[in-house]
Structures are given as structure tokens and as C-alpha cells.
Amino acid sequence: MSTLSALNQFRLQSVMDDLRDKRELPATLRFLNRTPSVDAMDEEIMAFVSENVIAADILPDDATARVYGGQEIRLELTKLPNIKRGYAMNQAMLNLLSRLSQSAGTTDDQGLLRNRRVQILDGLLLGVRMTMERMIIGSALDSLTYDHNGQQFDVGFNTPSDLKVTAGTPWSDSATATPISDIQTLQSTAREKYGVGFDRLTMTSVAFREMIATAEFRDKATLYSQLVLPSAGNFPTSDTAMMNVLAGRILGMSIEIYDEKYWTETNAGAEVATNFVPTTHVILTSTANDNNAGAMDFANAVVTETIVGQMLQETNGNGQILGGFGAARRGPVAYAEGSLNPANLSLWAVARGFPRKKLRSYSAYLVI
């Protein structure tokens, strides 16, 4: 079995977690899962760009991508950016491929290679989807920013200013903060001015604990539960499941706790975990708009690498893209790419698209 046939056998429609324990990765990409992916062309992209320099991992057409970086490039309003992540296979893995190609690999070697390939490709595709999730949440918060390796962009989505509200008193002030009133006022604005009924709150556990620790919430919970007024000392805030039920009853909304994180690499090379939803923000959305392409979608274009892969196959059999692509495809997709000068083998995952907030009042948020 040749090295190339080994790669063809292990062709990539799976992903890997970039050497991370899967428990550190988000179990559910909730905003991505409820945002329809719509076939799109470059001219269909709609966004409001305040600074048009894009980060390394989100690349326009014809840019040269690196395994863990990229070149400074320009974001054009009518061009869909690429979302790309790569992994360079080390010499030990290439040596293992060589043993397999010479039929010297044991069954354990072949199993190791297969498992490693699945792990790597699954992580790469998950990394692309995590960026897509981050982009969609950025549209819900009316601000999608990126700053990596000196490359930046900042995109807004034209959300009405009265749906972007800062609480008059921070929720951390448990004695005087009014989180229930803050949310209900924003609900009323959306319903009366824009005809949108927000019925879901998305927040982190930190924000939720701050909300239920306030005197206002305790008083409202007592009223709605017909309970004897408890004191702050014996109010059962540690029973988060019951508190969630009470909060939903008071507000007439479902409460979604979203603590999942994504990993990024700082300009100094350190790896850090960041909440998809900031602890300082609470997002309001309507479940009626879930998977409603008329309100919000992700413009998903054909991945250029799948077009080039076909061309390489037509000209010299396999070209540099190992395994090849039988047809142009929309992402996310994964593939292997090899070169002899210098000798290297890289695995990639890529998508090409951008979120489109078609309904300006699709979401609202509170800064708490």
C-alpha cells in the first residue's frame, strides 16, 4: 500500500480535536445549529464593515494560508471570506506513513494512523464550526471582531440602538439591580416597536447567578410561586434548576445557560479559552426565528479548494490535494495537501461564508 493510497483510504470527511481532550470542546454549537446554512455567491454577502482588515484564519480568495497563521489581507464587502484551519503532520507521523507504504507497518500502526487521522480531522472541522458559531453569535451581539497576529477586522450588523441596552445598575449589585425589569423593558421595546416577541434568554452561569441573587428576583419569585417571603440567606439560589424554572415563569421566556468556550491562540502564542457568549452580556432571541432563513442565515459558498482539487486531478491525476475532490462542494470540508519541496504533509479544514442578519431585530442584548 503506497503512502498516497493510505491517505486516500483515510479520506477526510471527519475531524480532530487538535490534540485536546474532547471535554474541553463545546458539546453543542447552539447558534450554528439553529441558523440555516444557505447556498450563496460572493455578491450576496451583506455586512457593515467598520474596519476592513481580516484575521489570519478568515481568508479572502487567493490568499496564502499557513498552518497557524496567515497574511494580512483586505476584506471586501461583496466577497465571502474563507474560514480555514490547518495541521502540519510531524516527522514521526510521516515515518509511520512510510512504514505502512512499505508494508512494514503492524496492525497497531494502521489503527494508530486511522485513529490519529480521525482525531486530527475531526478537530479541524470542529475548529471551523467553532469559528462559524463565534461569527453567528457576533452577529447577535452586533459586533464581530478579530485581532490576531496584528490583523484585525470589526463588523457590525445594523441592530437598532434601542435593542442594545446597558443595565442602569450592574447585576452584580444584588441589593439594587433590577434584572427582571431590564429584561421586560427590552422585551416590550422589541414587541411594541418591531413586532418581535423575544421568548429566549441566552446567558452564562455567571450572569444567571447574578440575576437570581438580586432582591428583585427573590421578591418576584416569591410572588409567582406563592411562597412565604424568604430571606436572602435562605433563598435557595444553589438549586439552579428550580431557579431556572422560576425565572422562566416570571419572564415568560426559556432560559438557556451557555457556558461553552472556544480556544484561541494569542499573539504571544499562548492558548486561551473564551466564552462564546460573554459573561457581561445577555442575548434575547425568538424561537420562532430558529432556522428561519428570512431572519438569519449563514451564507455558505462553494469552497475554492474543491474547485482547484478537480483541476489538479484533471491535469496530473492527483496533484497536491491528496484524495482529490470529485465535485465542487460547499463547506466545511477537509482535505490533505502534500509537497516535496520542502517535504511536508498538511491536513486542512475550510469553509467559505459569513452570517447574514436579514431581520435587524433578530436579536437584542443587555450589557449587565
User: Over the stretch 125-141, which tens digit does the pLDDT of each residue have?
Assistant: 888 999 999 999 999 99
For 159-171, write each residue's pLDDT tens digit: 999 999 999 999 9
As a whole number of angstroms, the distance between CA 248 and CA 251 comes to: 5
For 300-330, write each residue's pLDDT tens digit: 988 888 877 666 654 444 445 555 677 788 8
Domain boundaries defined on the chain: 3-156+297-355, 161-292+360-367
Enter the C-alpha cell of residue 99. Answer: 512504514
Whether the link from the prior residue into 36 is cis, omega within 30° of 0, is no
What DSSP string describes 260-327?
Answer: -EEEEE-TTS-EEEEESS-TTEEEEE-GGGTT-TTTEEEEEPBPHHHHHHHHHHHHHTT-SEET--SS
CATH number for the domain running over 161-292+360-367: 3.30.1930.10
Q: Name residues whose C-beta falls within 8 Å of residue 16's C-beta, 6 or more positions apart in sequence.
A: 87, 116, 117, 118, 119, 120, 121, 122, 123, 124, 126, 347
What is the pTM assigned to this prediction?
0.78
How far is the CA of 127 from the CAs of 22, 101, 134, 275, in angstroms? 12, 30, 10, 15
